[in-house]
């Protein structure tokens, strides 16, 4: 990775990037193998880059890398940014897979199910009955854990 790309990524930790700057990073990431792209986007999560998810949506395609980045990112996310991680993962992995990942990653310290249940209704269209049923099951888990 050249110094210009490193500098742009560093810059993205304290301000948004212009469309040209973002395009430079995207072109670079698309020119390298996906495993290297995954590693760079993972380091962007660690550095709290403001453009990580925007970029990851455009450069990660393999379910394995999408899953790994989602797991890594959602566990580092705050309640607000979980919505962005859900928007990243659902189109690439499917609603059912994302719900399963949330259930697997949830524990008392991160209360991931509670946070996800807040945002998920905004990400499901009215006619997706299966997704609504899965959401209802998640809500029941939240209610059971609060008793």
User: By residue range, what is the domain housing residue 56?
Assistant: 1-61
Residues 53 and 108 in one domain: no
**Number of domains the chain contains:** 2
Enumerate residues 6+ apart whose C-beta is below 8 A from 6: none
pTM: 0.91
Going by pLDDT thresholds of 50, 70 and 90, the confidence category of residue 146 is low
Q: How confident is the model at residue 24 (pLDDT cuts 50, 70, 90)?
A: very high
96 shares a domain with 136: yes
Q: With H, G, I as helix, E, B as strand and everything else as coil, classify residue 77.
A: coil
Query: How far is residue 40 from each of residues 5, 88, 131, measured CA to CA in Å?
Result: 11, 17, 32
57/105 same-domain check: no
Instruction: Answer whether 24's CB lies under 8 Å from 5's CB.
Output: yes
Both 10 and 44 in one domain: the answer is: yes
Q: What is the pLDDT of residue 41?
A: 96
In this structure, the answer to whether residues 54 and 1 fall within a common structural domain is yes
Based on the number of CB atoms within 10 Å of its own CB, is 26 exposed (0-12), middle (13-18) or buried (19 or more)? middle
């Amino acid at each position: 990775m050249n110094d210009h790309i490193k500098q742009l990524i560093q810059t993205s930790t304290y301000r948004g990037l212009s469309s040209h700057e973002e395009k430079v990073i995207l072109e670079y990431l698309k020119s390298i193998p996906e495993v290297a792209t995954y590693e760079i986007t993972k380091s962007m999560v660690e550095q709290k880059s403001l453009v990580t998810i925007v970029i990851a949506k455009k450069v990660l395609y393999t379910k394995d890398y999408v899953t790994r980045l989602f797991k890594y990112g959602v566990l580092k996310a705050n309640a607000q940014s979980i919505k962005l991680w859900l928007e990243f993962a659902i189109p690439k992995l499917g609603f059912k897979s994302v719900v399963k990942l949330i259930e697997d990653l949830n524990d008392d310290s991160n209360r991931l199910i509670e946070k996800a249940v807040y945002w998920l209704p905004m990400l499901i269209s009215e006619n997706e009955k299966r997704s609504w049923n899965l959401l209802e099951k998640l809500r029941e888990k939240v209610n059971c854990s609060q008793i």
